Every structure is written in C-alpha cells, then in structure tokens.
Homo-oligomer: A and B are copies of this chain.
Amino acid sequence: MSALPPCILHIGSDTACYGCEYLGDPRSAGRLSCTRRRLDGGQFLFMQGDARSQIFVVKTGTVRLFKMLDTGKRQIIGFKFAGEFIGLGPDAKHGYSAQAIGETELRVLQAAVFDAVAANDPQILWKLYEAVATDLARAHELALTIGRRSAAGSMAAFLLEIEAHTGAHAGSTATLSLPMRHADIADYLGLTHETVSRLLATFRRRGLIAASGRNGIVLKHHALLRALADGHPIGALAG
C-alpha cells in the first residue's frame, strides 16, 4: 500500500479526496501533500505554455480546458468535474489552458514531488495511465463529434455525454446540470453560441428535453437523442 493521499489512490473516483487532509499531517512529511485552493469563475488554474509545476483535483465546481488560435478562436477540449484530475502528463509545460467556470474548489499537488513519488510506484503509475487513457478516449469521441456529426447530432451527443458522466444510468429522468455557458458548449462542439441556443430551443420545442430550473435540463427522449447522435436525421429537425 502506497503511503499516499486518497486523492491520488482514487484517481477518477468522484468521492475521492474529500476527506484528504494531508497538509501538515506527519505521515506526509517529506512526501506528497496536497493543499487547497478556491477559485472564482474566470480564474485560471494555469495557461497554455505555463510550466507544469502543479496538478489539480477538482473538489467542487467545473473547469474548462481549452486551446486557442492566434486569431482568438477557442476550442474547449474538455470539462472537468468533481473528482477529476487536471494537468497530468509527462511534459514540462501545459499544452492547454485550464479555467474555472464559476466558483471552484481544488486540491493542489506539486508536480515535481508527485512525479518523483509516482515514478517508483507501479500502483500510482497504473492509475495515471488509466486516467490519461480515459481522457484520450474522450478526446477521440470529441473528434468524432466535431468532425462528423451534424450540429444537432453534436448537441445530442453532448447531452448524452453529460448524462453518462453524471453517473445516472442512461434512461433515467434525473435533471442534468449544465454549469457552463452556451458559448462554452459551442466552443466544445465546434459551433457558435447562436447555434447552440437554436438547437436547445428546437430540442425543447420537439419535446426531446425540458428545462429544469436555472441550469437544469431533463432528457425526455433518449432514443431520439441517441439516434440523432448516431447520425440519423429525424425528419427535418428544423421545426
């Protein structure tokens, strides 16, 4: 058993790290310890090109990861929710920026220490391997979405992805929380925020989804959303 904080040993687990109080704990002396940080919406965890000096675990809130072109066009490459790691990788610099969406609580680890500990611990390395592989599978799915799905198909795939990530067994009627703005969804799916607005309005009108409170959405017709995501037209959805 590694003498490491639970937040490391349970990478990817939603409930991990919440009781982790290694800072100042004698067990962690000279080893890995994690500190806390609270960020307001819009604040950066790090920016593309920054030295990878720290890695993070989201405790509460949501973080957007993105890359930008010279011209200012932004591509969001992922959203990170509670329990997820941010900033993993062997590189010396971050390849993308990470920014809080709304108020966010984080656990912070020093990358140098973390890497040194991990480098000799197969258990941790396997966790890292799994975590990065999970991100990779998601990135592949994103490429499929952006590159080959229609705008409506992308939107449907996004809603189903969020639902799946929420852990809710597909087909449930639970309310999904969409903490990000339309512009974020647009920059994730390769669309514009106007198109996202129109698509959500259409989905609502057609009864595919229903609004639920401030940022809430309920999926009312999984089969049709799935069909859309799979590339089927669903007779002139423009209605």
Contact = CB atoms under 8 A, between A and B. Distances in A.
Interface string A84-109: 00001111000110000000000000
A70 interface: yes
A148 interface: yes
Interface stretch (A16-24, A124-132, A167-175, A214-222): A124-132
Contacts of A128: 129
Nearest to A227: B70
Nearest to A78: B140
A16 B147 CA distance: 33
A96 to B, nearest CB: 6
Contacts of A187: 147-148
A77 B144 contact: yes
B126 A126 contact: no
A142 interface: yes
Given A88-B133, A132-B136, A139-B139, 12 more contacts: A67-B140, A69-B231, A70-B230, A71-B230, A73-B148, A75-B147, A77-B144, A90-B133, A91-B133, A96-B140, A132-B133, A147-B189
